Structure 1
Amino acid sequence: MTVQDVDRVSFVQEWEEWHRQKEAVLAGPHGFLAITGLHWLSDEPTRFEDAPGAWSSTTDGVVVELDEGEELVIDEQVVRGRHDFGVLAERASVYVSWGDAVIEVAKRGGHDIVRPRHPGNALRTEFTGTPAYEPDARWVLSGRFLPFDSPRPVTVGAAVEGLEHVYDSPGQVEFELEGTAHRLTAFDGPTPGALMVLFTDKTSGVTTYAANRSLQIPAPDADGRVTIDFNRAANLPCAYTDLATCPLPPTENRLPVGIETGEKIPLERGGRP
């Protein structure tokens, strides 16, 4: 295990700030903990208790038909009657307002969905934080990025049974842990050149969430070197709620070792402080 040359105090402070920001997004007024329903749309217009209108998925995309007295706010414009959202791209989301709630219209695994987000949802209002291991610089490892000749489509399962996601993988990340080399298939991260990996390990289902954890990795340097900070191994929304469609790790990303750092099983799933 390679220990990085870091200052202990600033290292812990930076980790704590990262964790605070992540928790703030998760538990924001319209974050994932505010979701009250995961509604799968069909060609039959259907009404839901936690959203206005009758929703359907058509060949021309998602449609909502609002009754008299119902309205949504879309791009700061009040919408009444029928509204066509058009065909959404895979993994795209559109957010529209309804009073103090936000209605997410999205496509996941090739299916159109509606996910209302209400600030008063008990999962959000009762949230007290996610338990985690104490940050430890020993889990900051040096690795290298091994790019494929061209991105490869990788099909993975999802937290929702029967659903699949397909992501393009630019390559693998290799690192050494206790004298043994490991490789993880990586996907594109949120910024150009950055990477993201999904994984499980020997702690999964014991002290950490069973299905998955995710890790963001900064872009490799000119020589392909990367820094892998497992302290920032994070839960995905499915760790907190069944109303998420999170991807599962590729088979090769099931590590045969314990990554005893990062976020633990949420209290909402029976975890301990």
Structure 2
Amino acid sequence: MTTAIVNDTVDRAEFARDWEDWHRAHEERRADPHGFLAVTGLYWLGEEPIELPDASGSWRTGTDGPVVELPEGASLTLKDAVLSGTHEFGPLAERSGVTVGFDAGVVEIARRGGRDILRPRRGDHAYLASYTGTPSYQPDPRWRVAAKFVAYPRPRSVEVGAAVDGLSHVYESPGYLEFSLDGETYQLTVFPGHTDDAVLVLFTDATSGVTTYAANRSVLVDAPDAEGNTVIDFNRASNLPCAYTDFATCPLPPQENRLPVGIEAGEKTPVARVEGVATEIGIVAKH
């Protein structure tokens, strides 16, 4: 059993400055002109071509992945290459994608739930322009807790739901984290993080739907040491894109990660979000 880190010698001012630096950088990435707050729509590709209101071209899924047919005089950029006419992007792996540029922004081409999707991102999107930041709890060292990583004999495939109805995600979980809070012990299934030196935790808690976003929050945890020891800093619990827009396909936490205790740390529910309506070709913004 592990115990919460409660250290009266922590320099709270320095701790708060470190958190503020982290959160400022997190907000800057979120509000990038090509970031998720700039997404203007979600479109599911199929065999029938579709056209987007925010970018040129006729788009479809071909026999070997996404295809775009651009009208004469129109072009897109892919890294340093200029695309014109018909371009085949090739097969995309699940949860992967590429980004192409156009005059007013970029288009994300990705694979989710076994289907190809498009998400235009425009720096002039009204929601991005009106975004003023995400409210958060004040950082408190109490919410840094020691944790023990317990590895499974072999990684387990864990299927979870998604922010989009009818979609699911499958992750390979290497194990779980065990930690103690106020005398109670909890376990959280982890998934691979964005880098080799971290694992990802998706969770909800007793604040979800009250002061924090109802569907999920996430926290990155440093890779455990040789003995399996690490620290969960719930002060750095952050919202996934689905807290801000209906144009996200974010994973939901596994059932065992729905904590009965309130984690009064990290980011709270955003003050506004982009809502969408389903159409024959995808989901488009109401506003």
- Report TM bin, short chain: over 0.9
The residue number in structure 2 matching 1:134 is 138
Q: Runs of 5+ in structure 2 lacking a partner?
A: 275-287
Does residue 250 (structure 1) correspond to residue 254 (structure 2)? The answer is yes
Q: Which amino acid aligns with 1:242?
A: D
The residue number in structure 2 matching 1:204 is 208
Does residue 150 (structure 1) correspond to residue 154 (structure 2)? The answer is yes
Does residue 215 (structure 1) correspond to residue 189 (structure 2)? The answer is no
Does residue 12 (structure 1) correspond to residue 13 (structure 2)? The answer is no
Q: Deviations over 1:21-42 (max 9, x none)?
A: 1111111010001000101000
Q: Runs of 5+ in structure 1 lacking a partner?
A: none
Deviation at 1:10, TM superposition (A): 1.5
Does residue 183 (structure 1) correspond to residue 183 (structure 2)? The answer is no
Q: Deviations over 1:143-189 (max 9, x none)?
A: 10001111111000000011000010000000001111000000011
Q: How many residue pairs end up in the alignment?
A: 270
Q: 60, 63, 83: which is aligned to 2:64?
A: 60
The residue number in structure 1 matching 2:90 is 86
The percent of aligned pairs where both chains have the same amino acid is 57
Deviation at 1:107, TM superposition (A): 0.5
- Residues 222-261 of structure 1: pairs in structure 2 closer than 5 A: 222-261=226-265
The residue number in structure 1 matching 2:5 is 2
Deviation at 1:111, TM superposition (A): 1.1
Deviates more, 1:151-160 or 1:66-75: 66-75
Instruction: Measure the CA separation in 1 of the matches of 2:28 and 2:256.
Output: 32
Task: Please report the RMSD computed on the Cα atoms of aligned residues, expressed in angstroms.
Answer: 1.2
Q: 47, 68, 77: which is aligned to 1:43?
A: 47
Question: What's the secondary structure of 1:12's corresponding residue?
Answer: helix
Q: Which amino acid aligns with 1:80?
A: S
What is the TM-score when the length of structure 2 is the normalising length?
A: 0.92
What is the TM-score when the length of structure 1 is the normalising length?
A: 0.97
Q: Deviations over 1:178-228 (max 9, x none)?
A: 111000000011221411100000000000000000000001011100101
Question: What's the secondary structure of 2:89's corresponding residue?
Answer: strand
Instruction: Measure the CA separation in 2 of the matches of 1:211 and 1:95.
Output: 27
Instruction: Measure the CA separation in 1 of the matches of 2:62 and 2:220.
Output: 36
Instruction: Measure the CA separation in 1 of the matches of 2:273 and 2:205.
Output: 18
Instruction: Measure the CA separation in 2 of the matches of 1:133 and 1:75.
Output: 39
Deviation at 1:48, TM superposition (A): 1.2
Question: What's the secondary structure of 2:56's corresponding residue?
Answer: strand
Q: 29, 32, 36: which is aligned to 1:28?
A: 32
Q: Which amino acid aligns with 1:218?
A: D
Deviation at 1:265, TM superposition (A): 0.4
Q: Deviations over 1:77-126 (max 9, x none)?
A: 21110000000011112011101301100001111001000000011010
Instruction: Measure the CA separation in 2 of the matches of 1:120 and 1:89.
Output: 30
Instruction: Measure the CA separation in 1 of the matches of 2:81 and 2:141.
Output: 49
Q: Which amino acid aligns with 2:219?
A: L
